[in-house]
Structures are given as C-alpha cells and as structure tokens.
A and B are shown apart, each in its own frame.
Chain A
Amino acid sequence: MAIQVDLETAPTQTGMRRVAIDPVSRVEGHGKVTILLDADDRVHQVRLHIVEFRGFEKFVQGRPFWELPVMVQRLCGICPVSHHLAAAKALDIVVGATRLTPTAEKIRRLMHYGQILQSHALHFFHLASPDLLFGFDSPLEKRNIVGVAAEYPDIARKGVLLRRFGQEVIRVTAGKRIHGTGAIPGGVNKAVAKEDRDLLLADAYRMIGWSREAVELVKRLHFANVGLYNSFGAFRSNMLSLVAPDGSLDLYHGGFRARDEAGEILFDHVDYSHYWDQITEEVKPWSYMKFPYLKALGPEQGWYKVGPLVRVQNCDQIPTPFADAERREFVDFGGGQPIHATLAYHWARMIEMLFAAEEIKDLLHDDDLLAGELVTGGTRARRGVGVIEAPRGTLIHHYRLNAHDQVMRANLIVSTTHNNHAMNQAIRQVAKRYLDGRTVTEGLLNHIEVAIRAFDPCLSCATHALGQMPLEVELVDAAGARVDALARHGDGTIERCAG
C-alpha cells in the first residue's frame, strides 16, 4: 500500500520556518493551519489544528439518558439533526428497541434526508459555488454568494429555497427547526400531520428538478477544468462508510464497509455496535482532535476519508433512479479506479443531494408517516452505540450508563475527526504546489481554504458571537520571529501586518 504518511516525518522543527493560518471565525471557532518549511523553504509538514467538542463528556456526564437527543443538538449548530438522530439510535439500544416501528423509522429517515438536503445545499450554493464559478483567485468581493447572485441569480435563489425546503422537512418531523424533539429512545414522539405532508409534497418534485440541475452544474465545472479538478489537493487513501445490507447507499443505517485506496474491500457489513474492533484513535500532542484509523492497518497505513466522495463510490448502487444514474456516470469517470480528487467531493455531494431529494419524495408518498406505532422497546442495556452518515461523513455516538440511567461515559467520533488526517493531506498537497518563498500570499490562503472547504469541515460547534476575525495568516521563521502576516477581516478586507 503506497499511502503517503510523511506528515509527521520531520525529525525536528529546528531549521524550519512556520507558516500559521489562524482563522478565528465568528462561526466555527478556532482553526489553524501550520506549515513547517525546511531550510530550503520547501513544505515539509502540515498541521491542521481544530478545536472541536472539548468538554462534551463533562457536558453530558450525570444527565439522564432520555435528555440526550435534545441536549446533543446544542453541540453543533451546523448539523444538530445528525447528533439528534445518532444519539437516538444509540439510545434505541439502551431501551431494547433493536428494530423500530415502520412509522418511527420512516419519520427519522425523512428528518435525516431533510438535513442532508439542506446541509448540502448550503455548502454548495453558499460556500463552494463562488470558488467554483469564479475561480480560486478571483477577487473576494466577487467570490461570495452575492457575486453568485449578481451573475447567476437563479442559482443563488434555488440555493436558498432548497435549503429552506430541507429546513421545513426538519420542522415537520422534529417538531421545530431547532431543538427538535422528534426522535426519542425507541422511536419518535409524533406522526407527520397530513397537511404538513401535503405541503412538502407540493414542492418535492421541484426540489428534485433543482437538485438535478445542481449535479449538471457541478459536472460542467469539473469537466471545464478537468486537469485542475482532478489534481488539486488530490491524495489516495482508504475509505469508510455505512452501506445497506444489499450494498446500497443508505445514510441512515447500515454496516461498515471499508475499501483501500485501490477500491478493494477491506471489510464489509460490519456491525458498528463494536466499532472499536475496527476503528481506533491516535492522539497527537499538537492537536485537540484525534486521528482515527483502521485498527488492522495501524496508524500509518490505516487512516481513511469519509463523506460524500467516499459514500457514492463505496456503495454498489443508489436506490433512487436519477441519483443512481449520476453515480454510474461518476464511477465511470474514474475509469475503473476510485476517484480521490478532493474537488470531486463537490460533485459527489450534489449526487447525494439529489438522492436526498428523491428519498424525501418517496417517503412523503408513504402513508406510514401519518399513523402507526411510534415507539417500541425491549430488553434494557447499559451501553448503546449509534452511527449515522451525517452530511460530512460518518458520525458515531457511544454512551455508557450507570444503574440510575445517567450517562457515565460518552464518546463521539464526528465526521471532521474521521477526515482529520485526510484534510491534512489535502492541505499539504496544496501548500506544496502554491507556497512560494517566504511570503504568505492571498492566493495561498485562497487555495488552502478551497481545499479545506471541499471537506465541509465543522471546525467547532455553534458558538458564534459577532465580531471575530475570520482568517489570519502568519509566517514565523526558525528563530520564532514573525516575518510576514496576512489577515482577512470579516468584511473581506485584507491587512498585511508588519513582520
């Protein structure tokens, strides 16, 4: 296996210059990229620092388990529904609900695909499309959603309305747009009202149409600059996701399937309730975030990526017709080899958005949503594991309870953590290509941002006071002196700071 593993090969930092990219975003909290250069100014090492979920275990410790599905939504303002459902799935095991009622499972699935749709729409239309439509080096004042609205007003409008539709699906199934209570241990707390179902159905077909257009758009962009798209931040790696028992794409439930970088299956249909038999985490002294890897391969060879790019290739088929046709075209584009291009995440993400739109339509036509048993149960347990394919990738919730039904221990492995090593690799490839000399250029920042964005990372969790700076870049020499620094403020202005 030829996976590149030299992120950590710098024997010493002596003689290296450090480039620090330190975004203090008002939304995602604190992220930082450190690029260590050798004495010849070549990129030797890259470190993406992310502060994420610190204090979570303490936050939930001692709480009664039935509070968790609501409580965990406060961990992340970006994908609260994913945490809501992953926690509920873990607690299904605790209450002995090994198989949900048809009504409960379908309502949860509808909720989940609403989340997938709105999250993917937000990412593509409001985050990625400005980069992709205008180019990575286009002026910042143009490279944003307003620029898209000015030149492509239809795209911007559809992005907003797709996102809104997804939020409405969540409201109908979870009870409200935030702090939803829909999923509870063992099922759901209410059926879908017929008038709500009819309201959503009235728009569902339009959403499928717009999602198909989005796939066409992202394909067109990929094909228009295929050399760049195929090579930018590209790296080969193992891949991990859930798949359904028949190998289909299923973002709500399934067993683990892992492939190596050549696409060969490493393990398949593995029950996730003992995920620690397959996945373990490495701690590194410079990062708050852990580095998961496939246990059998070890930390150097076993790291992997997750998320849309993996999922559409890891499955054997997609169970909805339009999305499956797009999947086949995507796989054919790889010519028999897995696609590892970082920018292909966007293409795969839009295929998943189309799948979500089709799934929502199919579920809305199912009358099980409107009535039926809501909750089930069985033999109680003190431990529960829930896994779901969240918009950004695999999400694991694991809880242990004491005799009083209070949380004793909790462990979460979120999508961004699974992709930790992979994101470092992508940034490293970009830095090697675009860093030139001792100057931190705006172009370098732009390109590193584009690489990170492709993974759609959640850099922190839902704290967002007004007035923080989105991005700062600093160049520090081997002696620790700052030789260059570049700051991008929230209003888009760039400030070069003296060394």
Chain B
Amino acid sequence: MTPTRLVVLAWGNESRGDDGLGPAFLAAAEALADPPGLATTFVGDFQLQPEHAVDLDGVDLALFVDASRTAPAPFGFRRVEPERSATFTTHGLSPGAVLDAFAATFGRAPPAAFELAIPGASFELGEPLRERARMCLDAALAFYAGLRRDASVAAWQRAAAPGAAVASGRH
C-alpha cells in the first residue's frame, strides 16, 4: 500500500520570542517516527514564500504550522483553500497564497491543506518562547500526534469542522 505523503511546513524566527513556535514545532515533529502508512517530509523557513509551492508537489496532504496573534488557545486548526492575499510589501505569503502559487506553477489543483495556528503574544528580538506559548505548543503537538494516526483528508476535515472539539484545541 502506498503511504500517504504528508508535508509539514513550519516557519518563524526562533530568536523572536513566540515567533519561534513554528521552528519549535518542527523540531519536535521531526523527531517522531512515521506510523505505518505515512511518509512525512518537513520544511522549515523564516517565512512562507512562493517557492514553497514546489514543496507541495507530489504530496497528498499539507500541514502549515505557524505562530498566530489571533488563534484561540491552545491552537486553531482549519482547512486552507487557495486565496488571494493582500500583503503590503511582499515578502511572506499566507498558506492560501502558497496554494495559489502552486496552481500557477503546476497548472493543477494543490493538495488538500490544513493550518495549525498556535497563539503567540510577544515577538521581540532576543526573547525566548513565553511559558504560555510553550503550553500551547505542547497541546498542538499532542493534537498533531492524533492527526498522524489517521492522516486522511476526510479525518482531518472532520477535525477541522466548526464545532469539532479539536478544531479549537479543546481535546
């Protein structure tokens, strides 16, 4: 049986306080062995950029992980659709914009994608992760472990449905 190919894209700056949630998530997730039926690749970066569309090529499922100023505690989980973003001067894109860049680059629909947003509050240079952010990170990693056990679009869609306990981190 062909394993489900999952790519986890997490980004942020670990020297800027809670902005390091993405890299911290990635470091912990990379240490986990894949369960049977799942083949995971990991991509980390400072910011999400158009070329990350290439990292989505050939995968069945994508998970975007980032710090968020607005996500509910301990995390938010939702399906991501291609979208048109309105960034002021560039340089980072939203996950939805990367999906659109995928369509532009490859001329076909992008893989199913979800966003795991972990709340952060302080982003100053030289700061470590705040305690509250660490707690949210632990909850997000526990949730991710559950996602890996049933890595299918249908299961993740159920987990992201409005009202689903896990979608807002109440698990």
Nearest A residue (CB) for B123: A463
- Assuming the contacts A25-B87, A27-B47, A449-B89, asked whether A465 and B125 have C-beta atoms less than 8 A apart, the reply is no
Determine the distance from Cα of A435 to Cα of B36 in the docked complex, in whole angstroms: 62
Interface pick from B11-19, B134-142, B155-163: B11-19
Question: Hey, which chain B residues are within 8 Å of A145, CB to CB?
Answer: 50, 97, 100-101, 104
- Asked whether any CB of chain B lies closer than 8 Å to the CB of A205, the reply is no
- Assuming the contacts A177-B45, A490-B86, asked whether A464 and B104 have C-beta atoms less than 8 A apart, the reply is no
B79 to chain A, nearest CB (A): 15
Contact of B67 among A153, A177, A466, A491 (CB under 8 A): A466
Contact of A31 among B45, B66, B88, B100 (CB under 8 A): B88
Contact of A27 among B53, B84, B87 (CB under 8 A): B87
Task: Establish whether residues A470 and B47, one from each chain, have CB atoms under 8 Å apart when the complex forms.
Answer: no
Question: Hey, which chain B residues are within 8 Å of A459, CB to CB?
Answer: 89
A-side residues, CB < 8 A to B, are 23, 25-28, 31, 54-56, 58-59, 71, 74-75, 77-78, 80, 118, 122-123, 125-127, 140-141, 144-149, 153, 156-157, 159-161, 163-164, 167, 177-178, 449, 452-453, 456-459, 461-468, 470-471, 488-492
Question: Hey, which chain A residues are within 8 Å of B19, CB to CB?
Answer: 462-465
Contact of A156 among B45, B105, B117 (CB under 8 A): B105
Q: Assuming A25-B88, A74-B14, A126-B90, what are 13 further A-B pairs, CB within 8 angstroms?
A: A23-B89, A27-B47, A77-B45, A127-B90, A159-B50, A163-B51, A177-B45, A449-B88, A461-B13, A465-B18, A465-B123, A467-B68, A470-B88
Question: Hey, which chain B residues are within 8 Å of A466, CB to CB?
Answer: 66-71, 94, 117
Task: Establish whether residues B70 and A163, one from each chain, have CB atoms under 8 Å apart when the complex forms.
Answer: no
Task: Establish whether residues B46 and A467, one from each chain, have CB atoms under 8 Å apart when the complex forms.
Answer: no
Contact of B47 among A74, A78, A167, A456 (CB under 8 A): A78
Question: Hey, which chain B residues are within 8 Å of A463, CB to CB?
Answer: 13, 16, 19, 123
Contact of A157 among B45, B105, B125 (CB under 8 A): B105
Question: Hey, which chain B residues are within 8 Å of A456, CB to CB?
Answer: 89
Contact of B16 among A23, A149, A449, A462 (CB under 8 A): A462
- Assuming the contacts A74-B13, A463-B13, asked whether A140 and B97 have C-beta atoms less than 8 A apart, the reply is no
Task: Establish whether residues B47 and A77, one from each chain, have CB atoms under 8 Å apart when the complex forms.
Answer: yes
How many A-B pairs have beta carbons closer than 8 Å: the answer is 173
A-B contact pairs, 26 of them (CB 8 A): A26-B69, A27-B88, A28-B88, A55-B124, A58-B126, A74-B15, A74-B16, A75-B125, A77-B92, A149-B101, A153-B104, A156-B104, A157-B105, A160-B101, A161-B51, A161-B54, A167-B51, A178-B45, A461-B125, A463-B19, A464-B12, A464-B66, A465-B68, A466-B117, A468-B69, A491-B86
Contact of B104 among A122, A140, A157 (CB under 8 A): A157
Task: Establish whether residues B92 and A26, one from each chain, have CB atoms under 8 Å apart when the complex forms.
Answer: yes
**Which of A28, A118, A462 neighbours the largest number of chain B CB atoms within 10 Å of its CB?**
A462
Task: Establish whether residues B107 and A153, one from each chain, have CB atoms under 8 Å apart when the complex forms.
Answer: yes
B-side residues, CB < 8 A to A, are 11-16, 18-19, 44-47, 49-51, 53-54, 66-71, 82-92, 94, 97, 100-101, 103-105, 107, 117, 120, 123-126
Task: Establish whether residues A164 and B54, one from each chain, have CB atoms under 8 Å apart when the complex forms.
Answer: yes
Determine the distance from Cα of A59 to Cα of B92 in the docked complex, in whole angstroms: 24
Task: Establish whether residues A492 and B15, one from each chain, have CB atoms under 8 Å apart when the complex forms.
Answer: no
Determine the distance from Cα of A75 to Cα of B105 in the docked complex, in whole angstroms: 30
Question: Hey, which chain A residues are within 8 Å of B103, CB to CB?
Answer: 149
Contact of A160 among B68, B105, B124 (CB under 8 A): B105
Task: Establish whether residues A160 and B89, one from each chain, have CB atoms under 8 Å apart when the complex forms.
Answer: no
A185 to chain B, nearest CB (A): 20
A73 to chain B, nearest CB (A): 8
